[in-house]
A = this chain, B = another copy of it.
């Protein structure tokens, strides 16, 4: 049972963990966050996630109130307090309590813990459907808390049986609401958007692994390329690598998860194991 969160460096019970309603996240949706997994009681790819958190904070002009070392200690303390083996951990940095209701002040720093989301095995063995929607995130390289569009589309997405929404803009595919998107061409080349996206840590790791076996192209991905793609997949921390077999009305390849996607999923799972083993040495 998860009992504790952290608010501004102090461990508090979930019930106590609160923010005054003058916080700029509540007033103006102003904040950034990051999210990583705890496995075997250890944060997975810890420094990669903290690097990204730092990048988001800097991009949005919110100073992190703790040093890297202090933040790590708070996270280790929270793992211990909750006796965590497997969990998802979310860091949120908000615009703080604003005097005028608009201008950021000293940020508030929150750490939340949740049970690991799990997906039906069939998502991996049969693949999933995505729904296309025209939209481009504001400050796409920043992991801001702004999910107005994604959350708003939940009912529509469920109505068409899609598991996520794939955003495209001016003819190019960028990413889904919470994952990166890839296609595999007939010659096994993997293509994914090179800019205008949130650079996922799982994306980065997967591309590193992919480059050892396949040609990889990080570039503008045209929406038309879905028609001729042999495979497609998405990546995220919780999803890892998940095959996509349909995008709105377009069936991808033969409508079944492909060999390359499954290979990359396997490689990523091995990488995760290696990372955790290395921590034990």
Binding site for B on A (CB under 8 A): 5, 7, 14-15, 17-31, 33, 60-61, 90, 92, 94-95, 100-104, 110, 112, 114, 117, 135, 138-139, 144-152, 154-155, 178
Closest 9 interchain pairs by CB?
A: A29-B29, A28-B147, A18-B18, A29-B145, A29-B146, A25-B26, A17-B21, A30-B151, A146-B148
Q: In the assembly, what is the distance between CA of A21 and CA of B6, in Å?
A: 10
In the complex, residue of chain B having the shortest beta-carbon distance to the beta carbon of A104? B151
In the complex, residue of chain B having the shortest beta-carbon distance to the beta carbon of A139? B148
Q: Which residues of B contact A135 (CB under 8 A)?
A: 138
Would you call A21 and B19 a contact (CB within 8 A)? yes
Q: A145 touches which one: B5, B27, B117 (CB < 8 A)? A: B27
Known: A28-B146, A61-B155. 14 other contacts (CB 8 A): A7-B21, A17-B20, A18-B18, A18-B21, A21-B112, A27-B92, A28-B147, A28-B150, A29-B30, A29-B145, A101-B114, A139-B149, A146-B146, A146-B148
Q: In the assembly, what is the distance between CA of A152 and CA of B24, in Å?
A: 12
Q: A151 touches which one: B102, B155, B178 (CB < 8 A)? A: B102
Would you call B21 and A147 a contact (CB within 8 A)? no
Q: A21 touches which one: B28, B92, B103 (CB < 8 A)? A: B92
Would you call B60 and A26 a contact (CB within 8 A)? no
Which of A20, A28, A148, A178 is most buried by chain B, counting CB atoms within 10 A of its CB?
A148
Q: In the assembly, what is the distance between CA of A15 and CA of B97, in Å?
A: 12
In the complex, residue of chain B having the shortest beta-carbon distance to the beta carbon of A22? B112
Please give the distance in Å from A32's CB to the nearest CB on chain B.
10
Q: Which residues of B contact A30 (CB under 8 A)?
A: 29, 147-148, 151
Q: In the assembly, what is the distance between CA of A211 and CA of B31, in Å?
A: 42
Would you call A148 and B144 a contact (CB within 8 A)? yes
Q: In the assembly, what is the distance between CA of A41 and CA of B113, in Å?
A: 44
Q: In the assembly, what is the distance between CA of A49 and CA of B234, in Å?
A: 43
In the complex, residue of chain B having the shortest beta-carbon distance to the beta carbon of A92? B26
Would you call B21 and A151 a contact (CB within 8 A)? no
Q: In the assembly, what is the distance between CA of A77 and CA of B227, in Å?
A: 60
Q: In the assembly, what is the distance between CA of A154 and CA of B156, in Å?
A: 35
Q: In the assembly, what is the distance between CA of A100 and CA of B155, in Å?
A: 15
Q: In the assembly, what is the distance between CA of A92 and CA of B27, in Å?
A: 8
Q: A31 touches which one: B15, B22, B26, B102 (CB < 8 A)? A: B26
Would you call A154 and B90 a contact (CB within 8 A)? no
Q: In the assembly, what is the distance between CA of A74 and CA of B240, in Å?
A: 47
Q: Which residues of B contact A7 (CB under 8 A)?
A: 21
Please give the distance in Å from A114's CB to the nearest CB on chain B.
6
Q: Which residues of B contact A152 (CB under 8 A)?
A: 60-61, 139
